[in-house]
Amino acid sequence: MKKLIYILIITSSVLFAQDYSNFGITAYGGSAYPSGNFDDFYNNGYGGAAGIMFDFKFSTRFALTVGYTRWEVDNAAVQQEYEKIGGEGTLNLDAPVRVIPVLLQARWFASRGGMNLYALVEFGFYFIKSEVSGSVTQDDTVVSQFSGKSSNTATGINLGLGLTFQVSSSVELDIAGRYHIVSSTNIYSFAPTGSSSILATDQYWSVMGGLNYLFN
């Protein structure tokens, strides 16, 4: 983990120490859609990010961003799985997941003008926090209660496509879709009869829109 942090810091320092033609700030927000194992027990989420960006030659832009995304558990899906593996009664579960991604981003523009198509790659760290609490109810009687917290750090790489629209010489409207490939992190495991099912974070899609401000 320390080696990866050093790589991110050193890479950022080397890139941003180069000669750049322009720099600015970026901020965006939107929706996040679970995929893979993550999609089994979580609803769509929301989030956003902000950071600094630098334009270089050959239609390339680098940025360093910090974000926040949150998802809520899908209790209907959890209850269905709970009954499927032999659970009795009603499992009431509250297990929100909050993620803070710290990412180094690279964009390559097809052209530069009024409307600009670009491809992007991001890599970095996802700081994942979750708080689990709940109970099992049978015949209107609470038969068990539980709670817990967890905090994990996962590595991830994102791939995406986007468009920028030049609003003025300093302002861009920015819309992008990303696929986030993140190391899986277990949140909660329920095993009423020896068989178990696991709530876990995994890959997800996001569609975000925002503004870029360039200090020309």
Going from the first residue of the chain to its last (216 residues), give the mean pLDDT of each consecutive group of 10, the final group possibly shorter: 52 54 91 90 95 86 95 91 86 90 93 87 93 88 87 92 93 97 79 61 92 90
Residue 107 region by backbone torsions, left for phi larger than 0, else alpha for psi between -120 and 50, else beta: beta
Give the side-chain half-sphere CA count within 13 A for 40.
Answer: 17
- CA–CA distance from 120 to each of 62, 73, 88, 199, 212 (Å)? 9, 30, 47, 29, 15
| Amino acid 198: pLDDT | 66
| Amino acid 120: pLDDT | 96
Stated as kind and residue range, the H or E segment containing 125 is: strand 115-138
- The structural domains of the chain, ordered by start, are 24-214 (2.40.160.20)
| Amino acid 19: pLDDT | 56
Reference 200, options 212, 192, 188; nearest CA is 188
| Amino acid 169: pLDDT | 87
| Calpha distance 146→107 (Å, rounded) | 45
What's the CA angle centered on 95, arms 192 and 203, to 5 degrees?
Answer: 100
| Amino acid 157: pLDDT | 93
| pTM score of the predicted model | 0.85
| Amino acid 139: pLDDT | 87
Reference 214, options 82, 36, 69, 20; nearest CA is 20
Reference 92, options 49, 141, 56, 127; nearest CA is 141
Q: Are 153 and 144 in contact (CB under 8 A)?
A: no
| Amino acid 13: pLDDT | 53
